[in-house]
Amino acid sequence: MNILKKNMKIKTALILCAGFGKRLNPLTLETPKPLLKIKHISMLEHCINLVISLGIKNIILNTYHLEDKIIDFIKKKNFSINIEIKKDGVKILDTGGGILNMINSSLENDFLIFNPDTLWNEKYYQDIKKMQEYYFSQNLNNILLLTKKNNSFDLNLTGDFNLKNNLITKDSKEFIFIGCQILNKELFRNYQINNFSISEIWENLLQTKGLNGYESENKFYHLTNLEIFKRLQDL
């Protein structure tokens, strides 16, 4: 990439790695979804490589399902970034609870959050940089990375939202959330560490017209199910 790279203002990225990945059974009965490989590289490694390229200093990732395999993977790879592993505990915490558990002990306020079932690569570098710039320039507390449905490799995916002037609504569903967002810790002020989905916070923000988005025009490759997993191997 022939551009001068500058480090992110956000210092910590979160990667959600706790889920069961049931739509990819039987593969995920023995291998956690983040460790499934596309072209001999795991989904998690693709994600971590992008985080490193962004100049972020720290990663926190959560674990639950087959967590020992993810922990062993991180130890063996010895990535050139500080990685902290935060276990969900005796029960899975879902996306919202998992995020809160990861940020609870952090001194940071703003976090870049990834779902590792998207095939992340450096094509997203500029999208994420620009999304962060918009986030801070507008003094926001949230922003989601979206793309139009026709950019999805899996054309069976239904849309999540509409996006106009960086404001997310549900008056139509032409856009898909592609698994990257920036959230401020203050959004979790009234929540306890428990099992809840991040969509609860999104819904509250939608009610006050306060859910923000940034559009990516990149092709969106998402590890949806076994059929898509097989097709991704042939890219």
Q: How many domains would you assign to the chain?
A: 1
Q: Is residue 1 part of a domain?
A: no
Q: Is residue 149 part of a domain?
A: yes
Q: Is residue 163 part of a domain?
A: yes
> Which CATH number fits the domain that encloses residue 203?
3.90.550.10
Q: What is the pLDDT of residue 83?
A: 98
Q: Is residue 157 part of a domain?
A: yes
Classify residue 38 by its DSSP letter: E
Could you list the beta-strand ranges (E) of the chain.
12-17, 37-38, 41-42, 58-63, 82-87, 110-114, 142-148, 162-164, 167-169, 175-184, 213-215
Q: Is residue 5 part of a domain?
A: no
- Is residue 177 a contact partner of residue 144, using CB atoms and an 8 Å limit? yes
- The pair of structure tokens assigned to 44 is 């998690």
Q: Is residue 2 part of a domain?
A: no
- Domain hosting residue 218, numbered range: 12-232
Chain segment 66-124, per-residue pLDDT in tens = 999 999 999 999 999 999 999 999 999 999 999 999 999 899 999 999 999 999 999 99
Q: Is residue 103 part of a domain?
A: yes
Cβ neighbour number for residue 89 with a 10 Å cutoff: 13
Q: Is residue 25 part of a domain?
A: yes
Supply the pTM of this predicted model: 0.95
Chain segment 204-223, per-residue pLDDT in tens = 999 999 999 999 999 999 99
- Is residue 200 a contact partner of residue 93, using CB atoms and an 8 Å limit? no
Q: What is the pLDDT of residue 82?
A: 97
